[in-house]
Structure 1
Amino acid sequence: MEAAQTPRTAAELGDWLTRTVADYVRCDPAEIDPDVPLSDYGLDSISATTVCADIEDHFGLPVEVTLIWDHPTIGKLSQALAEELETAVR
């Protein structure tokens, strides 16, 4: 995906994260509630590390694996990533 097409808003990031997490926990993205902790869906430390690597690869934004534990829901994580991406652009 080109940089111009890369999701930047919290809503766009939330959609991308929902699809990504759903792939890892093997469920339909529609089953992921943005306000439910990711651990409730079975996202473990190995999957969390892989999601962080996907974020780095997809957005070119280095993130610590603790980001997921500090922001344990799709809603909180997407907001944090939107803020990080905004800061990185400046």
Structure 2
Amino acid sequence: MSTTTTAAELTTWLTDRVAFYLEIPAEQIAPDVKLVEYGLESVYALALCGDVEDEFGIEVEPTLAWDYPTVEALVGLLRERLATAATTA
């Protein structure tokens, strides 16, 4: 994905990653429900940080899933970070 990735694309990507770790269908994940309510464990939250860094080439804090506890909140953060990366590149 690139710095011009849309919110919908980010939502789909994040939902798919979370669904992979939780071993549930992506359709069962609502963007406004806290990931801990689905049972996302800390080891998977850290793996998600690595996925974000690898996919988008930006650094994120290891507390990402706690600081931004929903897919919706994560999308907001990623859009901000990607916009910043685009303007400083």
Name the TM-score, length of structure 1 as normaliser.
Answer: 0.89
Aligned-residue CA RMSD in angstroms? 1.5
Q: How many residues are matched?
A: 87
Which segments of 5 or more consecutive residues in structure 1 lack a partner in the other structure? none
For each residue in 1:16-69, what CA deviation from the matched residue of structure 2 results, as whole angstroms up to 9, or x when unmatched?
000000000000000000000000111111100000000111111111121221
**Alpha-carbon spacing, 1:66–1:18, altered in 2? closer, same or farther (3 Å):** same
By how many angstroms is 1:7 displaced? 6.5
Which segments of 5 or more consecutive residues in structure 2 lack a partner in the other structure? none
* Match of residue 77, structure 1, among 68, 71, 74: 74
Q: Percent identity?
A: 49
Report if the CA contact (8 A) 1:22-1:28 is conserved: yes
